[in-house]
Amino acid sequence: MRILSTERELADELTIENAAPPLVEVMRGEIAESFHRGSIAVVDGAGGLVARLGSTGFRTYYRSAAKPFQALPLITSGAFEAFGLSARELATIVGSHGGEEIHLEAVASILDRVGISDEALQCGAHMPFDERASRALRAAGKAPTVRHNNCSGKHAGMLALAKFRGEPLESYLDPEHPVQREIRAVVGLFAGVAPAEISVAIDGCSAPVFGVPLEAMARSYARLVNPADQSDPVRAGMAGATRRVVAAMTGHPEMVAGTHGRLDTDLMHALPGRIISKVGAEGVQLLGVLPGNRYPSGLGIAIKIEDGDIRRARDPVVIETLRQLGLLDDDHLARLAGYAGSKVLNHRRLVVGEVRPCFSLQIAE
């Protein structure tokens, strides 16, 4: 590790040029009181960089935004068909659900079809993301169960694949378990990163989580929504599975996130059949724009908020990125206005400022 020996060296190391660019500014009056910084990568279906900001080589973890890829082996193996799972249940497997009753029922249905119990889920329990479901649980004096965990669908899917393949269930989260090795290979295939070069850590739900450069994340989503890409025969052979995942997400957005106040759900409802949206923890957001008139080969969009903010920064960056790419018209913006920014209130509930995006994408020539 290099030791900074002088104040001048320290100042040079911390110059603004070395920092990620501001994406969101927090205004109080006419002064920007603080910033949320980050990076954005936009890649087309052919792998070309369409737009960027900050460091597209910034290495971070997918977190829950990897779930569409974690579900693909369930389909390609034949397990999805063998257990008679539905598109709605697949959306729950891919989702970070709110712990609403519809989500609990879907997870229970998956487990019943596979023939395993709640005890097999090793995701842990937390209060529902959905505020109404959380209040109802507290009012009833009940503790959350593993089904309330936003990743319980993903875990049910992993267990289904392990059972179908005859692999051990109790160790299904071990990074070297055959199920996890297969998932890591799929992530590498779509991201364009060798599995050995993928950083592996443990997610909040105890499953393996994968770290790659931001541009590779964007590439993976561009390939996910563009199954017509035949550049890799293995990936081309998975086209049916990718279409199934995309169709489940666009057909059942409320199972991917929730029925109330979730950007992923509301964005997919606002652009039906045109976009997939998947949140990840620590300020990660991935989006796939299906091929269309404006972008014939589709787009993959990867966003990382440097400080990990998931409340006031990430949503405005998502909306502004899509606006600058020409994907949201005035009607869309009006419908999604609640995610485009927020007001700063003081203790008397007076509006004293606002939180707003402050960036311009660098569009490739």
Distances (CA, A) of 94 to 72, 200, 211: 9, 19, 18
Q: Is residue 12 part of a domain?
A: no
pLDDT value for 13:
45
Q: Are residues 311 and 326 in contact, defined by beta-carbon separation less than 8 angstroms?
A: no
Low-confidence ranges of the chain (pLDDT < 50): 1-16
At 287-316, the pLDDT tens digits run 999 999 899 999 999 999 999 998 899 999
User: What is the number of structural domains in the chain?
Assistant: 1
pLDDT value for 271:
97
Buried b (16+ CB within 10 A) or exposed e, 159-194: bbbbbbeeeeeeebbeeebbbbebbbebbbbbbbbe
pLDDT value for 229:
66
pLDDT value for 230:
64
Q: Is residue 14 part of a domain?
A: no
Cβ-in-10-Å burial (0-12, 13-18, 19+) of 133 comes to buried
Cα separation, 67 vs 122, in Å, equals 16
pLDDT value for 304:
98
pLDDT value for 313:
95
Q: Is residue 5 part of a domain?
A: no
Residue 236 belongs to domain spanning: 22-363
pLDDT value for 311:
81
Cα separation, 203 vs 122, in Å, equals 12
Residue 46: CATH number of its domain: 3.40.710
